[in-house]
Each structure stands twice: as structure tokens, then as C-alpha cells.
Structure 1
């Protein structure tokens, strides 16, 4: 029982420090650009369909999952194509990128460069040829309106179906003599926690993602624990209660622009809190699977021969960044070949899949399939036909 409680507390802590703080910064930066340009960035992206997969791949390539998470609501509202979603997810490096960049920068350059090229090619192929997306989205439409905003599915000029949402209808925030000021106070606490967590998270990743003891006190581990627990608790309050007193209560959706800087900060906090809830669920599922079922990602990753890139692609199917960080650490130890790292880099969706799972589960499943197929093809081809593919320890710093 003590071990189960420790797993729970560790997941609550780690989800915020390792993921949420990085997501918050990216979402905030994107929001500030939207605010300063009065929505011009999203408008230009919507008008330039040919550039969408390239832009999505660039957003996914940024270390962490924040850039990719920003793109998911844009698909839901019909701003970008499904091919852009797939390009974004294929290029997504996730939090494991920080580990590889720190411990094997040359391998990171090659692996993420290959993933970026694969992302662009796959995104444009899906937008050009459809790849069955139309049938899937029409099937999704028969299930009715989605949980977050409600909407319908229509074909965009490029032939890919896109969700059309009544994105600009908003409702007034609720007013309460107790919950309104409390929500603003928790919002402020959330941003303080996010700032400290960002510093702690960067130090954690640069040191190779070591195990951090679950402890209190005036130490790095103590600050890691306090900030993580505080930030996640505040995230849960904002998602389940505070969002109705800070805004119109809607999350998981793109905004055209913002009234002021505080509105931008509020949006970033609420969207990140939404992701935090889903990230914690994934952390708990993975960690309890390790404890109760004996799942060992390291052993799976260490498969021999051509099975190594297959294993890397399969691990990439697991939502979240935890398993991917484990695989990156295993690579840095020289236990798996470069082909497995590359296949995982292409296949993994990191935490970016969670917003899409919450709003459009069918699209999320199909997107995962479309990221896994090129991961298998490229990973196996690297292993069989290129000397670099079968190497272990390629690019690892001594």
C-alpha cells in the first residue's frame, strides 16, 4: 500500500514539473503572439494551407510537447488539416529530447532531423491523398457533437475534412464572492509554481532525468516535491472549478485573440491545467502498470536485431513522455541501436495526443496509427540498409 501511495504522489509531482511547466511556457508564448498580432498568426495559418504541415512539423520539433499541444485545438476548430496534425505528432520530440540533447547531441541531430523530414512528407501525403481520413471523420460525425465545444465535420478546400466550430461564442464567467477571488488567487499561485517548476525541470532534464526522491525539505528534491504537488493541485482546481470563474469555462480550443495580457495568462494556465489532468492519468496508468504488472520498457527497448526499431515504434504508441524518457536513457547507456531511437522519435506523440484524445478520440487513434507506420518503415530501413542504424552508442558523449 505504501508503494502505491508513493507512486501516486510521485506521479502527481512529476507530471507538473516534467511536463506542465514546459507546456505552459509554449502555450503562453503562442498566446502572447496571438494577443500582440490580434489573431493574425492563426488567420495566416488558416489561409496558407500549403504551409500548414511544415508549420506543424516545426512546432512539433521544439523540445518538449508544448508546441505540438498548441496545434491540436487548431485542428479541432478547423484551422489546420489532419495532415498537419500527423506532421506535428511525427516531429514531436517530447521531453525525451532534452535527455538525448544533453547526453547524445549528435544522435539527436540525426534522429530528429529524420523525424522532421518524415513528418513533412507524411503530412503532405495525407493532405494530398486523403489516406482514409474522410471516412473516419464522417464516422466520427455520426456520433454527434464532441464533449468540449460541439461541432460538425465539413470538407476543407484541400479535400481533408476539418472540424468547424462556433469558436467565437463565449459565455460570461460566473461570479461568486468566495470562488471568484479564490480562483484568481489559485491562478496566481499556479504561475508562481510554473515558473519555479520550469527551472527545476530544466535542471532535471539536463542532468539526464535521474530519480528524484519524494521528500520535503530545503533541497532540490524537496523543492521538486513541493512545487510539483502544489502545481498539480492548483491545476486540478483550475480545471474542475476555477475555469468557470476565470473565463467562460471552455478548454481544449483555440482562441482567435485575447482581450489583454491577463486574459492570455489565464488561457495558458487553463489549457495547461487541462493537459495536466490527462498527463496525470497517463502517468498513473504507466507507473501502476510497471508496479502491478511488471512492465519493463527498458527490457522491451533492448530487443535484438530488426526487432529493436519495431520495439521503439511500439513504445512510441504509449501516450505520454515517461516511457520515451526511459527509452532515451536506455539509448544513452548504449543498450539499443540508433534505429530504435529514430523509430521511437517518429512514433511517439508525447503529451500532445491528450488534448485530441479528450476532444476527438477517433482522430487521435487514427493519428497514432499514421505516426507508427512511417516509424516502422524508416526504423527497419535504417537498421537493415544503413550502417548508422544498427549502431549502439552512436553520438553518446563519453
Structure 2
């Protein structure tokens, strides 16, 4: 990280180091990660918009291909593909093996970090996750492995943990679907617009019910996309130059584009996540619908999802850098001494739902080279990203069993990579 030189008469050395980490992370996170994240999420959202839910219909009609299709959905970067399988399982239209295959194949939003900074590692890690997901998914569907026990647990559930107020049925026989969070026409306006809807109470306590902030948020959303385009160009140039950090500059050059788009993009992302999404975007993070009502809504959804990833990426940068500054712990040395426990620990980390912890884990591998490849593979298989949340909201017991199931192939594959994979060392595939 190239330091930002601050006046020595104003800041002492420790304080300048703290500022360097903060401002450097603020600039680099958006260009190195978010530019690629936004482009990929937008691409996947546009596919959903174009095919208008036909992906889910195909899954319902091709039962034998469901675990394979679930793994393919999970393989898509981010959580969007795997999320699609969750409500279909609750409806009883896809198998439990399909759910496990989707969750095992997905690497959540941490996939964007590895794809951007360690593409060769991503190919191998997510390829192994994909194969493991397919094998384990079909083993569950055709060999059992406890799926009947899951159905009995669902049978005994009295009420879901949602606002729907319905009783849960046996999912194998066809249970209830996830309640509709959208507007009556399939648009997300029901969860987005505060004016004309009785939703002001949904606003967090720190935000007023303001038409001005709604308009400002729309402007910020458009400006965010312009900034992301610049960050994507800067990110591609950054990789083409061998991932050499650019100088700090505010000029019409590559260095200036990297600096301005990075600082501005992160700032706008924080606004969209903490303010804008409550006025023009869905408050719920990680919920992906079958389709979108209009093109603007598609772009808006992609922006809100990317803004969420950006916030967690910056948090991960700061947590790691400040943690090292305060403790001086040699993470790479600790991981190297762990031996075979490293992939086991990576798989155990996968039990944590959401993407935040796994984004930090991916950063430790791709940026700091502090995690071995075997641990990355184990975590990629075991973690479920945000895809587990829709299942947790309706069927907590099935969600717990599902995440335990994905941990098993994570541990097995991680240990196989550790003992037999010739490229299991630190920094494999990192640019």
C-alpha cells in the first residue's frame, strides 16, 4: 500500500500510520474488488431480468438435473444463484440435495475477491467446490444421508420465523413459499418507496422520512454507476500493470482515475448502504428475486448489493490491517504452523452465515497471502454466504442441517488438497 504522506507537524507517526491504512483501504477496496463485483452482479441481474423467472421454472420441471443445476447456480459469483434454490425447496419443488449442492458450490461474495486478485486459484478452488457439490447433492438425493430426518424436523415446526403467519408443511410434500417482499406487480417498490406507502416505520431511527433524501439517493445511485465504470477501467489497468499500486494523484491519468474512483466510489457505497437503500432500494440484503419489473430496478438492485459488499470489504481491510498494527501477529506463520488444521479451520469458519467473515478470509488469501490454498478450498465449499438467510427465515432447523452438510465435504476436500494437491502452498494463483 503506497502511503499517503500527511504533514508531519500535524500528525505523529502512529496517527499517520492509522490514517494511511484508513485512506488507503478506502481507495483500494472499491477499485480492486467492487468494480468487478458490480459488473458481475449486474450481469447476473440482467439475465434474471431478461428471462423473467424462467430459470426457476426450468428447475421445477427437470427433477433429475436439480442437484447439477443447483451446483451451477451456486457456482455463479455472489449469492444470487444459490438464493434462487431456497424458496423452491420450501415450496417442495426442488430436493434437499439441490439445496446442499447450491450451498456447497457457492462461495458468496468472497468469490469476487478471489476472482479479481487470484483468478487461477479461483478456477481450481471453485472447480473443486463444484465437483464436490454435485457429488454430495446426488448422494443426498439418492442415498439419503439424513434427508428424511430433515423432513421430519420440518413437520414438527409450528410456525415460521417470518411475518407470514402460516404453519409450515412437510417440504417434500410441498411447503409454503417465502412471503412476497415486493410490490403487487413484482416490482420492489413496495419495499423501496416510502412515499405513497405506509412504510415510514421501516426507516432506521437515524433517518427521517424525507422526499429530498429520496431524490438525492436516486442522484447518488446514478453517480455511483458512473464511478463504478471508472473503477472497473482502473481495476483492469491495475491488473494489466501487474497489480502495482498507483501513485496518489488527482489528474486525468491512470493514477488519478484509480484514486478518484476509489475514494468517491467507496464514499458513495457507504451512503447507499447506510442511507440510500432505505429510500430507493430494498432494506433486506442478500434477497434475490426471480425477476425484475424494469431495467432501472435491475441496476438499482445490483448497486445496492455491490454497496453492501463494498462496506464489508472495507471493514475486512481495516479489521485485518488494524489488527496487525495493534497485535503484531504473524497470521501467515500461524497458519503455516497449523498444518492440517488450517483446512479444517477454514471449513469450520464456513458455519458462519453471511459473507462478511468469508470476505475477510478471502482477503487474507489473495492480498496478504496468509492462508494456504487448502483452507481456501475448504472454506469455499463449506460457506453458504447470504443464500442461507432465506432458508433460515422460514425453516431454521433445515438451514442448520444444510450448513452442517456443506461443512462435511468442505473438510474432506480441504484435507485431500492439503495432503495430495501439489499447489496447496500459500499464494497459489495470486496475481
TM-score range, shorter chain: 0.7 to 0.9
Task: Name 2:248's counterpart in structure 1.
Answer: 215
Match of 2:8 in 1: none
Superposed displacement of residue 71, structure 1: 2.6
Partner of 2:31: 17
Shift of 1:312: 5.7
Q: CA deviation at 1:190?
A: 1.1
Look up the match of 1:174.
194
The answer to whether the Cα contact below 8 Å between 2:36 and 2:116 also exists between their aligned partners in 1 is: no
The one of 251, 265, 275 aligned to 1:241: 275
- What corresponds to 1:201 in structure 2? 235
Over 3 Å counting, the alpha-carbon distance change for 1:377 and 1:265 in structure 2 is same
Report the CA distance shift for 1:129/1:370 in structure 2 as closer, same or farther (over 3 A).
Answer: closer
Q: CA deviation at 1:151?
A: 8.4
Contact 1:34 1:42 in 2 (8 A): no
Q: Which runs of 5+ in 1 are unaligned?
A: none
Distance 1:30 1:297 in 2: 35
TM-score of the two chains, using structure 1 as the length reference: 0.73
User: Which of 368, 373, 376 is matched with 2:411 structurally?
Assistant: 376
Distance in 2 of aligned mates of 1:390 and 1:319: 25
Q: How does 1:173-322 map to 2 (within 5 A)?
A: 173-175=193-195, 178-205=212-239, 212=245, 215-218=248-251, 220-246=254-280, 249-303=283-337, 306-307=340-341, 309-310=343-344, 313=347, 319-322=357-360
TM-score by length of 2: 0.68
CA deviation string 1:254-291 (max 9, x = no partner):
22332321121122212322333344444433333333
Find the counterpart in structure 2 of residue 96 from structure 1.
114
- C-alpha separation in 2, matches of 1:280 and 1:138: 42
Q: Distance in 1 between matches of 2:390 and 2:328?
A: 28
Native 8 Å contact 1:275 1:355 kept in 2: no
Residue 214 of structure 2 contacts residue 279 of structure 2 at CA under 8 Å; is this kept in 1? yes
Higher alpha-carbon Rg: 2
Q: In the aligned structure 2, how far is the partner of 1:320 from the partner of 1:110?
A: 18
C-alpha distance after superposition, 1:155-190 (max 9, x if no partner): 43379x886222444527234652233122111111
Listed as ranges, the matches of 1:330-349 within 5 Å are 340-348=372-380
Where do 5+ consecutive residues of structure 2 fail to align?
1-14, 185-189, 196-209
Cα 1:51–1:151 shift into 2, 3 Å: farther
Instruction: Write out per-residue CA displacement over residues 80-102 of structure 1, whole angstroms, 9 at most, x where no aligned residue.
Output: 6665454345434622244443x
Query: How many residue pairs end up in the alignment?
Result: 379
Asked if the contact 1:52/1:84 (under 8 Å) is kept, the reply is yes
Question: Is the counterpart of residue 45 in structure 1 residue 59 in structure 2?
Answer: yes
Question: What does the per-residue CA deviation read over 1:103-123, in whole Å, with 9 as the maximum and x for residues that have no partner?
Answer: xx4x76554433221121233
